[in-house]
Structure 1
Amino acid sequence: MAGFLSLAKAIDSLNNKIGHSVAWLALFMVLVQFVVVLLRYVFGIGSIFMQESIIYMHGFLFMLGAGYTLLHGGHVRVDIFYGAASERKQAIVDFFGVIFLLFPVLTLIMIYALPYVASSWEILESSKETSGIPAVYILKSSIIVFCVLMGIQGLSMAIHSLAIIKGIEHKAADDGPGAI
């Protein structure tokens, strides 16, 4: 179990670093939006490239930050019984939620996204706008990265949940699954 826990902690560390890195996109989005508005309404200059870059940053922020959000328990949860349940019962719910909900949904997304992303890469899909970003295929690839990051974070969550069920690990009050 110690080897699995070290794997889980490595996954947690990876998603934590990615989450902290992509969080900067929120600041860049605000700054670029400010510049777009300033250029448009003060100087009468429009930039489709800059407007599309906001969409790209927004997409990357949410798609690449989803694993980080799962790590820290930030996803929406219907908390009827979960909040009042013991740590062990929460771990059981988390474990079965990963196995029977998260993994099947990610598998379906991956099955449908792979051909979609592959066809985009085949033609090196670019913006429909003349001066737009010529890399739509990279934006679409974030769907695959989303599935991978969420999948490995789900694996980490399942490992931590099993460790909690076995009494090897305890969840801290403010942290996500498996925090010691």
Structure 2
Amino acid sequence: MLKITGLIDQINEKLGRFISWATLLLVLLQFGIVISHYIFRDGSIFLQESLLYLHSLIFLGAAGYTLKHNGHVRVDVFYGSFSEKKKAWVNLVGSLLFLFPVSLVIGWYSWPFVLDSWAAMEGSIEASGIQAVYLLKSLILVFVVFILLQGLSLILHSLRIILGQEHLMEEKQEGM
């Protein structure tokens, strides 16, 4: 169980750190587009569309990383004052009742949508746009896979906390 959570956490950590560079690229690209438009009176549909691709990559591709670091929005009225064990119960039940079903529904309904896009090799409606809309739509499935993997890791971590095993591992790692 510990090896599985470690592997999932490591994959999402590396993916999230890699994708974080897309944020810098997004800001620099947006800055370049603004400069190009207002100073040189020039524009590029390809560059404009690339902002959408980067934005989608950041939010969909790094969702598992965000879940790993508790960065998703939650109603924190009571959760913040809960003990670690109660938080683990909330995470466990929330993952099983909400995270998994919603993610599976998103995956189920987006699968044919993505397959159709790939079958048609769907591209931009603009001639000079990015001719890879199928890749953009595939990010929905990337989201589902990595959020489900991190959800599994969250469930396993929660179970270890509930069973009193998570603290033991942290103490062993600190003592090494």
Shorter-chain TM band:
over 0.9
Please state whether the residue corresponding to 2:81 is helix, strand or coil: coil
Amino acid at match of 1:35: G
Aligned length: 169
The alignment's TM-score, normalised by the length of structure 2, stands at 0.93
**Alpha-carbon displacement from aligned partner over 1:90-126 (angstroms, at most 9, x marks no partner):** 1011011111110000011011100100110010000
Match of 1:177 in 2: none
Q: Distance in 2 between matches of 1:87 and 1:39?
A: 51
Q: Counterpart in 2 of 1:39?
A: 36
Q: 1:21 aligns with which of 1, 18, 21?
A: 18
Moved over 6 A (4+): none
1:113 and 2:110 matched = yes
Match of 1:76 among 70, 73, 76: 73
Higher helix share: 2
Question: Cα RMSD over matched residues?
Answer: 1.3
Contiguous gaps of at least 5 residues in structure 1 = 172-179
Distance 1:84 1:36 in 2: 46
Unaligned 5+ segments in structure 2 are: 169-173
| 1:9-50: CA deviation from partner (whole Å, max 9, x where unpaired) | 110011000110101111101111111112212112110000
2:98 to 83, 101, 119: 101
Question: C-alpha offsets along residues 101-160 of structure 1, whole Å, 9 cap, x if unaligned?
Answer: 100000110111001001100100000111000000000000000000000000000000
